[in-house]
Amino acid sequence: MSDDSARIWTPANIVTLMRILLIPVFVAALLSPWPSWLPEPEFWAAWQPWIAAAVFIVISATDAIDGHLARSRDEITDLGKFLDPLADKILVCAALLALVELQAFPSWVALIIIAREFIVSGLRMVAAAQGTVIAASMYGKFKTVLQICAILLFTVKDSLQITLMGDGFAMCFTIFSWLVLLAAVVMTIVSMVDYFYKSREVLGFGKRSAR
């Protein structure tokens, strides 16, 4: 392997790439019917939402791993800067669309979250073109955590295991899932407004436009 390739294909970038390659596995685990030729297909089909949730957790957890590897080994690369946020966006969008396909997730929430990603990406592009870096805030981190929790809850909310816990438990679980989802929507909007505020000069408002 050449020196250039070694600098690109760092352990952190390889972990990030594996995260992206695991996203279709999560979607398949969530949407595809369990193969009938496998032993005890009905048993595994009943656990299908939980299997998909486990894959989603593994993908989400590796987000911290690749970041730690890149910082601890001083191997932060432009490829990593591109792939890391891309992996997060693809994972969330894929999960939202899969849950909408299953009619387990409201489409209007998916629209708000996906639209926010397009808007923020556009703001960052405009800012970068003017040599300005818009730093991420804690709002974005809270938004990501709440979105991941909401996706996990809605993945297993209607599973057989939750239903067997009784009507009372299932109702409480559903209410809790919706509360987390609504909190995720609120933080999604708040983080988007925060980006607009931080990029007000880039967009022509504030001190820069006054000059």
Instruction: Convert the pLDDT of each residue in 45-90 to its tens digit.
Output: 788 899 999 999 999 888 778 777 777 777 777 777 777 878 888 9
**Do the domain assignments include residue 31?**
yes
Q: Which of 103, 138, 166 is the last residue of a domain?
A: 103
Same domain for 55 and 141, yes or no, is no
Q: Domain span at residue 151?
A: 104-203
pLDDT greater than 90 at residue 205: no
Distance of CA 60 to the CA centre of its chain: 7
pLDDT band at residue 12 using 50, 70 and 90 as cut-offs: confident
In this structure, are 127 and 97 located in the same domain?
no
Over residues 145-197, the pLDDT tens digits come to: 999 999 999 999 988 889 888 889 999 999 999 999 999 999 999 999 988 88
Mean confidence (pLDDT) of the chain: 84
Tens of pLDDT, residue by residue over 90-125, are 999 999 999 999 988 889 999 999 999 888 888 888
Same domain as 92, residue 163: no
Query: Is the domain of 114 the same as that of 80?
Result: no
Same domain? For 108 and 87 the reply is no
Judgement on whether residues 94 and 119 belong to the same structural domain of the protein: no
Domain boundary among 103, 127, 142: 103
The answer to whether residue 63 sits within a structural domain is yes
Domain match, 34 and 95 both? yes
The domain total for the chain is 2
Co-location of 129 and 32 in the same domain: no
pLDDT computed for residue 209 by the predictor: 45
In a domain, 20, yes or no: yes
Per-residue confidence (pLDDT) for residue 13, from 0 to 100: 82
The pTM for the full model equals 0.85
23 with 36, same domain: the answer is: yes
